[in-house]
């Protein structure tokens, strides 16, 4: 390892501990591959109502206490600019700063970013994601409003899945046609 590069330890929850980016990817991959209701449930269970905290975790993704913005960019695949923007618009909670003013992200922040990544994949508008984050910060009394927002997003996703399945069926018919038209066998 070069200067300033430390090994990052990660526990996969099954006791296996690894070092380096692959361990981080494995932990993030497990979190990101959860089903929608499982991920939402998992993420909701980690929320705290603290004044500047949006999400709370008891297990770490990479086994570190604090991460620089460049480390978080590598772990999440987001740019530093995007991470700053998320904080500026209220999608991220206040991120702690070091004594020199550098952002110091926590494990909670990594879990929150993984959840936000899933919300982005659903096509949820940024304004709705920000609203969701605001509701989380407001506390437990907003639980029903948060659930309604997630349920509406779920309905939208199911509708898009149906549209995509219909589109896939049309493509399959066309592909099958080309298979038989050119002397091949239909697939």
pLDDT mean for each 10 residues of the chain (187 residues) = 40 38 43 43 38 37 78 96 96 90 94 96 96 96 97 97 97 88 58
Q: 44: closest CA among 29, 52, 34, 54?
A: 54
Domain assignments of the chain as residue spans, ordered by start: 9-158
Token pair belonging to 76: 């999440």
- Rounded CA-CA distance 53/137 in Å is 7
- Quickly count: other Cβ atoms within 10 Å of residue 22's Cβ: 12
Tell me what pLDDT residue 42 has: 41
CATH number of 9-158, picked from 1.10.1660.10, 1.10.1060.10, 3.30.9.10, 3.20.20.10: 1.10.1660.10
- Rounded CA-CA distance 27/116 in Å is 16
Tell me what pLDDT residue 65 has: 81
Q: Please name the residues in contact with 185: beta carbons below 8 A apart, sequence gap of 6 or more.
A: 179
Tell me what pLDDT residue 6 has: 41
Q: Within 13 Å and on the Cβ side, how many CA atoms surround 181?
A: 6
- Rounded CA-CA distance 46/27 in Å is 16
Q: 28: closest CA among 122, 95, 104, 110?
A: 110
**pTM listed for this prediction:** 0.61
- Rounded CA-CA distance 73/103 in Å is 12
């Amino acid at each position: 390892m070069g200067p300033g590069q430390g090994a990052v330890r990660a526990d996969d929850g099954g006791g296996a501990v690894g070092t380096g980016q692959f361990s981080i990817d494995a932990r993030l991959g497990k979190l990101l591959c959860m089903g929608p209701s499982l991920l939402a449930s998992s993420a909701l269970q980690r929320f705290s109502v603290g004044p500047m905290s949006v999400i709370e975790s008891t297990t770490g993704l990479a086994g570190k206490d604090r991460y620089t913005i460049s480390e978080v960019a590598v772990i999440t695949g987001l740019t530093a600019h995007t991470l700053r923007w998320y904080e500026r618009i209220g999608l991220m909670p206040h991120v702690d700063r070091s004594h020199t003013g550098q952002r110091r992200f926590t494990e909670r922040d990594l879990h929150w970013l993984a959840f936000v990544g899933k919300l982005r994949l659903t096509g949820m508008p940024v304004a709705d994601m920000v609203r969701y984050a605001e509701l989380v910060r407001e506390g437990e009394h907003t639980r029903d409003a948060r659930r309604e927002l997630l349920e509406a997003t779920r309905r939208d996703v199911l509708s898009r899945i149906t549209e995509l399945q219909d589109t896939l069926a049309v493509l399959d018919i066309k592909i099958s046609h080309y298979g038989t038209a050119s002397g091949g066998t239909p697939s």
